Amino acid sequence: MTEDSATTPGRIDFHHHFMPTAMLTSGLFGDTTGWKFRDEDAWSPQVSVDFMDRLQIDTAILSVPNDVESRLPENKRHHFAREVNTLSRQAADDHPGRFGLFAHLPTPTDTDAALEELTYAFDVLGADGVTLTNVYGTGDQARSLGDPIFEPLWAELDRRNALVFLHGEQTPGSNRAPSRFLPTPISETPNETYKGAADLVTSGRKRQYPNVRIILAHSGGSTPYLAARVAALCAFHLDCELTADQIIADFRTFYYETALSGFETNLVALENFVDPSHILFGTDFPAANPRTAGWFTDNVDEYFATRPAMLAKVMHDNAFSLVPRLTGGAPAHR
């Protein structure tokens, strides 16, 4: 690692999942996507803390990925968000300074339930933000985040100047996976993140609610590479109300974190596309095992090795600007 851990703040991990073992073994995150969790993947807050210490991570913002409620029995859906948010808050209380919380919301096509949990998460639990997936429902019932049904949610997030972590849904492709080496989280999810970002831009929601600060998982998936395609085709071929320049400008207002994407090619694209203040650090632990997360982290360290000021921005300084409480609450890594 390139940072002097005795004198500098540790990393802030914006992509770190709250995944109690019971959730991992229940099939909520594996059976339908081709992703496999092994017996040794048992998770607890202490498992995260041990992992964080190895990678010099001071604070991780916990999140539950995706629309979990749709995979639950109907009688368990109503209480799921409150349960996981309360447990996440407890993990933060039990490990002072080590965890934050991106609150999970009930499937927000139920606007009243989502707004009720949002209010509780911010006003009672002290959440740092909320996590959303790019689409809720499937087939003809699918509603992407730019859909009018979500406008009350975006309006409240905008009123609160809220921070949103946007994670691509585990949506399978129309064809079966090419092989066992290309399950949904590898072959589809990064493009789902891009689709969510593109929908928010082309629907005008990103411009309509400018006070919401949105972090895209996995460096936005394919967003940095496809934004220009969206801009040109929508503006010149599909008669979008936004100009190509406006579309590109709106894509550049997202924040991008490095989980499963901290590699030279990706980082060059990000630096070319967004302001340095919009690049953040993430690991995707425990969905990504320590070896995987460590490999990407080492790549980020190596890429910025000759530019320590930029490395500091990515690892913690940009985080301090987004979540100011971390400047006083996160311990310098020992």
pLDDT digits (tens, 9 = 90+) for 136-194: 988 888 999 999 999 999 999 999 999 999 999 877 777 888 888 888 888 888 899 99
Q: What percentage of the chain exceeds 90 in pLDDT?
A: 74
What does the pLDDT average to over 303-321? 97
> Which pTM does this prediction carry?
0.92
Residue 63, pLDDT score: 97
Predicted local distance difference test score (pLDDT) of residue 210:
98
How far from 119 is each of 112, 153, 287, CA to CA, in Å? 11, 11, 28
Q: Residue 108's pLDDT band (boundaries 50, 70, 90)?
A: very high
Asked whether the predicted pLDDT for residue 309 surpasses 80, the reply is yes
For residues 225-248, give the mean pLDDT. 97
**C-alpha to C-alpha distance for 271 and 206, rounded to whole angstroms:** 21
| Token reading at 180 | 């066992």
Whether residue 78 is predicted with pLDDT greater than 80 in this model: the reply is: no
Question: What pLDDT is recorded for position 330?
Answer: 43
Lowest mean pLDDT among 76-85, 89-98, 274-283: 76-85
Confidence of residue 19 (pLDDT cuts 50, 70, 90): confident
- Tally the residues of the chain: 334
Higher pLDDT, 145 or 38: 145
pLDDT at 187: 80
Phi, psi of 241 (to 5 degrees): -70, -20
pLDDT tens-digit series, residues 169-182: 877 777 888 888 88
Query: In the chain, what percentage of residues exceed pLDDT 70?
Result: 89
| Exposed / middle / buried, residue 299 (Cβ in 10 Å: 0-12, 13-18, 19+) | middle
Average pLDDT of the residues in 91-97: 97
Q: What is the pLDDT of residue 181?
A: 84
> What is the reported pLDDT for 67?
84
Task: For residue 298, name the pLDDT band (cuts at 50, 70, 90).
Answer: very high
| Model pLDDT, residue 7 | 55
> Over the chain, what is the mean pLDDT?
90
> Which pLDDT belongs to residue 333?
42
Q: In whole angstroms, what is the distance from residue 149 CA to residue 81 CA? A: 20
Q: What pLDDT is stored for residue 271 in this prediction?
A: 97
The residue type of 237 is: H
Cα–Cα distance measured from residue 199 to residue 306, given in angstroms and rounded to the nearest whole number: 37
Q: How many CA atoms lie within 13 A of 39 on its CB side?
A: 0
Residue 38's pLDDT band (cuts 50, 70, 90): low
Measured CA to CA, the distance from residue 245 to residue 202 in angstroms comes to 12
